[in-house]
Structure formats: C-alpha cells, structure tokens
Amino acid sequence: MHAKEMRNALAATEASWELDDVIDDDVDVDEIGVEFGLGALPEPLGAFTARYPRIRPELTTPFLPYLPYLLRWKRKLRKTLPKAWDWRDVDGHNWIWPARNQGGCGSCVAFATAAGVEAHRRIETSDHALGIDLSEAALFFANNRQCNPGDPRYGWFNGAALDYLMEEGACFEENYPYQPLNQVARIPEGTERTLKITGYDSTTNTTQMKRWIAEEGPLVASFGVYQDFFAFWSNGTGVYNHVTGPYRGGHAVLVVGYDDTRSSWIVKNSWGTTTGHPDGCFEIASGECGIDDRMYLVEDVYD
C-alpha cells in the first residue's frame, strides 16, 4: 500500500493517528514499516492468571496514588482515579528506562516481563535512578523458547514468564547478554544474584488496571499486531488504532500509563526507538486489538 492510500484510509475511518508528513505519497509503507519480532502466544487452557496475589481493597474504596518514600497507609486519599497517569513522569521523575530492542526474535514476553520487574523494583524502593538491567536472554532461553516462527518452541506466554520469575528469577544482562538469535542458555558459574517476584495478579477490568497502574506500577499486557502497526511504529504519530492490513501475531508490552482524555494506554515497546517514539513508548486506543483483554501485575520484587 502506498502512503497516499493509507492516508486516505486513515482519513476515511477518522483514525487517531497519521503518517509523518516527510513520507511521500508514492512511498510503499509496507517497505518502510520495518517488521520486528513478535512472540506473545495465547495463554494455554488452565494456565494461572494469578499466583499468591496480595489481598487488595475493593474498587469502591478510596484510591491511594503512589508517592515515593510513603507507606501506602500514609498516602493521601482520593475518591476518584486521576484522568491520566504516566510512569515516565511521576513526582517529577521518569521511572521507565528507554526501551531495548528484541530485533527479529520472538522474545517480546521476556522483554515485557523483565521491564515490569525492573520498573517495580525502582518503584518499590522509591529510587527512580536505580540501575537494573535484567537478562532477557536468560529468562527466554533458559525456558527452552526459540526465536523463529514455525519452531514448536517459538514465542512464549505472559503467565509462564511470571511463573518462572517467581520460581527461578532472572539474572542480570552482564551475566548473559541478549542476542536476537536462537541460543542455548549457558549461564556462567558464579552467577548468584537474581531478582525474583513473590507473586502476580491479573485483571480484565479496565478500572482495576488503571488503579493498579497508579497505586502499584506498570502492567504486562499483549495485543494483536496488524500490518499497519509497523507503519505506525516506524513513521506514525498519535494514538494507534487498527485501520488496514492483515494480522501478523501477538506482541507483549509493558503498559506504563493511561490517558482518559485521549482514551488511550501508554505503552513501552521492545523495538528500540524511532523518530516519532524517541523513548520507545507509544499510545494505543483503549479496547484496541485486545490490549486490555487482560493485564498482569508483578508483585514484590526481591533481590
């Protein structure tokens, strides 16, 4: 599809995003929309959706937005959720570090869950500058997962990754650097330090998702990627919604905020950065492509 045809399709559907003006009308957007790895698989029947979740207050109870250095019971009560929340700017600090790049490997689940653990560790310790770099390679390949579509071990499940983070944890990038190609996990002897989680929870309720984001931290989610998302990621701006093109697969991401005014979720990707997405984050419309079908909350990171 040429850029002019896509612009016409975006206009006809009153889409909430647009192609960059520097893209000429006669350019084939499928050629400039670089395709990256996906790899999020539908959860298998009977998979856990929560393990050892903390008991939380009902949605009808007062809301306690996060503030660094304050215990939950000392936070200021609010009766309603804020209209927007973004962990890239909470208390004047960015708690979300720039996105890494999974390349062509179907390892997005490892990237999304590792990013969740890293962010929650900073939030739980009230240290936005805490340097944490977990090994996505160790998390992915230690579970005998592989990069390429068609391989029976291709991709992964959000719940399975969270199970492994409970039971085994993840070592650090310096112990096992990531490469976007099939590997066998051989973690060096003497690698003793890992981060683990005590449990996780999940919900299909969007109000609960927003409450968890603002009270606890980012959430792990998946959505369906269509061909036009590659064009949006490489050359688009605005709030993504699917307009045209075939389905390409599932993709796991970290949801770092929301904006009710724009009816959007704010999402950290694992495809590096682009001109329109300089920190590797983007916005996707609420309810779009299954982004809020279910989101997962990691709990209580420990060293």
Instruction: Quote the CA–CA distance of 100 and 20 in Å, as a whole number.
Output: 23
Contact predicate 107/147, CB 8 Å? yes
Mark whether 251 is an active-site residue.
Answer: yes
Tokens standing for residue 213: 């984001």
Q: How far is CA 52 from CA 121, 213, 298, in A?
A: 18, 19, 11
Mark whether 108 is an active-site residue.
Answer: yes
Residue among 105, 108, 171, 281 flagged as catalytic: 108
∠ CA 169-174-180, nearest 5°, is 85
At residue 299, the 3 state secondary structure works out as strand
Residue among 120, 128, 242, 251 flagged as catalytic: 251
Instruction: Quote the CA–CA distance of 82 and 214 in Å, as a whole number.
Output: 8
Residue among 235, 241, 269, 289 flagged as catalytic: 269
At residue 266, the 3 state secondary structure works out as strand
In sequence order, the 6+-apart residues with CB closer than 8 A to the CB of 303 are 193, 194, 195
At residue 167, the 3 state secondary structure works out as helix
DSSP 91-159: TTB--SPPP-B-TTSS-HHHHHHHHHHHHHHHHHTT-TT----B-HHHHHHTTT-BSSTTSTTBSB-HH
Mark whether 105 is an active-site residue.
Answer: no
How many Cα atoms occupy the beta-carbon half-sphere of 204 within 13 Å?
A: 3
Catalytic residue annotation:
108, 251, 269
